[in-house]
């Protein structure tokens, strides 16, 4: 079965090359970013033994971000090697700290893994979630390098627990520490005879926080003390439902913040709502019209806008690709999303405790908003969602303590640990 894995990895690499030849930009970035990768890493590290943190893409980086901040303080003389698998993460993460070196991770072949581990020689390898690259794990274990996965979610449906794939399961059992998402995962793994597990929770709860207020008072003037609904990171599905519901929504401020803010996408939203919209970039006192919908046509401010809104209808919930619901929950919003959210633990848990509401149609949206026509009626839902975030914080501290333990027990010399 190991042979099949290696064939699949190499086939994946060939598929990327083929896509690049056909002009796929993401595939081009994937290949070009990995050119002379090891030479660049060696130059950056300068023979130092770093803390290696691997994240697959942007979502995993967000999970690792609060941990990275604490590691920089805990190990003031250590460099951090941050590797990405996907261009969508690598290209969108901007780093300012000179102690963090950002690179792509070479494809998980045996030869790449050997060269990478020999060149980097990390004091510890830390992986977000469950980005299991088995040739890298094999080489890390051969070199007796401590490894840790955090906020991991595993279950019986995954390949690692099927017949014929015991070689993968045996490698997972040899990971120094598997810090898992919740007690359910921990109990499952212990039944599978794992002895390296511990519950840590989800670091994303530690990352959400109240941002500085926006400098644009014009948004508050647009809201004008009305109940405010934000379509956060919206897709077409949420926008279509809103369009059908509009005629029955009265005296409510509506802000649309699409997950894609390209000119083409913004133009399509304007056409969908038949030009009954205003773009935030063009909003002024002179053209303020509270009867129109406000479109956020720039990135980086949605988390701040959530501080002004009351209800957040989050995008991706109709495709099982739900966007971040913790940010609006942490800023006192009632959380809404589509019905296809089964793989998102926080969404399922919030629904169970009446901290979120699933929306299947325009009628659902109208009935939900009309039920919450006043601030007093909104408060119980807001409070439940906010408390859920607050009560689940603390994962980063648990992970940090385990990393400190593993580094202190590693086979590296005492001088390399500081």
What average pLDDT values come out for the chain (418 residues) when binned by 10 residues?
92 95 92 93 94 94 95 96 94 91 96 96 96 97 97 93 90 97 96 97 86 71 93 96 93 94 94 91 86 90 90 96 94 95 92 94 94 82 94 96 92 43
Q: Specify the long-range contacts of residues 186-193, CB closer than 8 Å, at least 24 apart.
A: 188/154, 188/155, 188/156, 189/154, 192/161
Does 179 share its domain with 119?
yes
Same domain, 401 and 299: no
What gap in Å lies between CA 356 and CA 359, rounded to an integer? 10
* Assigned domain for 111 exists: yes
Identify the bridge partners of residue 103 per DSSP, sorted by sequence position.
83
Residue 67 belongs to domain with CATH number: 3.40.50.11720
The Cα-based distances of 7 to 1, 18, 21, 130, 275 in angstroms read 10, 16, 21, 21, 52
The half-sphere exposure of 343 on its side-chain side, counting CA atoms within 13 A, is: 12
Residue 208 lies in a domain: no
Task: Decide if 207 is inside a domain.
Answer: no
- The strand pairing partners of 256, in sequence order, are 231, 295
For residues 113 and 224, membership in a common domain is answered with: no
Q: Are residues 308 and 356 in the same domain?
A: yes
The region that residue 32 occupies, defined by phi over 0 for left and psi between -120 and 50 for alpha, beta otherwise, is alpha
358 with 245, same domain: the answer is yes
Instruction: Decide if 296 is inside a domain.
Output: yes
Same domain, 19 and 158: yes
The answer on 84 and 42 residing in a single domain is yes
Q: Is residue 25 part of a domain?
A: yes
In a domain, 278, yes or no: yes
* C-alpha 104: how far from chain center: 18
Single out the residue of 12, 39, 17 nearest to residue 116, CA to CA: 39
What does the pLDDT read at residue 213? 60
Asked whether the beta carbons of 313 and 238 are under 8 A apart, the reply is yes
* Sheet strands side by side (includes 311-314): 277-279, 293-295, 252-258, 227-234, 311-314, 334-338, 356-359
Coil/strand/helix, residue 82 = strand
State the CATH number of the domain containing residue 271: 3.40.50.2000
Q: Looking at the structure, do residues 146 and 237 belong to the same domain, yes or no?
A: no
How far apart, in whole angstroms, are the C-alpha atoms of residue 28 and residue 353? Answer: 45
Check residue 225 and give left, alpha or beta (phi > 0: left; psi -120 to 50: alpha). Answer: left
Predicted pLDDT at 376: 80
Same structural domain, 303 and 335: yes
Q: Are 140 and 147 in contact (CB under 8 A)?
A: yes
Q: Which domain holds residue 237?
A: 217-391
Assess contact for 378 and 227: CB atoms under 8 A: yes
Residue 234 lies in a domain: yes
DSSP single-letter state for residue 415: G
3-state secondary structure of 291: coil
Tell me: do 324 and 360 sit in the same domain: yes
335 shares its domain with 238: yes
Which pLDDT does position 64 carry in this prediction?
96
Q: Decide if 58 is inside a domain.
A: yes
In degrees, rounded to 5, the angle at the alpha carbon of residue 406 between the alpha carbons of residues 401 and 412 is 140
One domain, residues 372 and 254: yes
**pLDDT at res. 412:** 47
- pLDDT recorded at residue 237: 96
Our count of domains for the chain comes to: 2
Angle 253-255-261 (CA atoms, 0-180°, nearest 5)?
170
């Amino acid at each position: 079965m190991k042979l099949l894995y290696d064939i699949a990895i190499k086939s994946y690499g060939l598929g990327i090359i083929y896509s690049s030849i056909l002009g796929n930009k993401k595939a081009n970035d994937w290949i070009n970013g990995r050119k002379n990768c090891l030479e660049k890493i060696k130059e950056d590290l300068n023979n130092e033994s770093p803390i290696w943190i691997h994240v697959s893409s942007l979502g995993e980086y967000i999970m690792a971000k609060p941990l990275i901040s604490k590691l920089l303080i805990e190990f003031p003389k250590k460099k951090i090697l941050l590797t990405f698998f996907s261009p969508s993460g690598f290209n969108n993460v901007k780093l300012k700290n000179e102690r963090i070196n950002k690179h792509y991770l070479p494809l998980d072949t045996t030869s790449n893994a050997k060269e990478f581990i020999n060149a980097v020689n990390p004091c510890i390898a830390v992986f977000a979630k469950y980005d299991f690259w088995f040739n890298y794990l094999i080489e890390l274990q051969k070199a007796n390098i401590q490894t840790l996965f955090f906020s991991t979610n595993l279950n019986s449906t995954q390949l690692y627990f099927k017949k014929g794939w015991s070689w993968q399961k045996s490698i997972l059992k040899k990971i120094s520490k598997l810090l898992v998402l919740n007690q359910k995962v921990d109990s499952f793994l212990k039944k599978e005879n794992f002895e390296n597990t511990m519950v840590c929770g989800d670091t994303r709860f530690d990352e959400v926080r109240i941002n500085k207020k926006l400098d644009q008072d014009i948004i508050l003037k647009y809201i004008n003390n009305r109940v405010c609904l934000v379509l956060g990171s919206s897709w077409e599905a949420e926008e279509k439902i809103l369009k059908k519901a509009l005629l029955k929504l009265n005296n409510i401020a509506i802000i649309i913040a699409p997950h894609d803010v390209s000119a083409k996408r913004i133009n399509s939203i304007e056409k969908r709502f038949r030009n009954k919209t205003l773009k935030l970039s063009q909003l002024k006192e002179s053209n303020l019209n509270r009867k129109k919908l406000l479109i956020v046509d720039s990135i980086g401010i949605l988390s701040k806008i959530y501080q002004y809104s009351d209800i957040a209808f989050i995008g991706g919930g109709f495709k099982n690709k739900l966007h971040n619901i913790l940010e609006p929950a942490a800023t006192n919003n009632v959380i809404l999303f589509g019905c296809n959210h089964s793989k998102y633990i926080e969404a399922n848990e919030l629904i169970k405790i009446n901290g979120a509401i699933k929306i299947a149609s325009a009628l659902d949206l109208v009935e939900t908003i009309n039920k919450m026509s006043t601030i007093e009626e909104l408060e119980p839902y807001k409070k439940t969602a906010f408390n859920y975030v607050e009560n689940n914080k603390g994962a980063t501290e648990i992970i940090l303590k385990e990393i400190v333990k593993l580094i202190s027990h590693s086979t590296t010399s005492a001088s390399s640990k500081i």
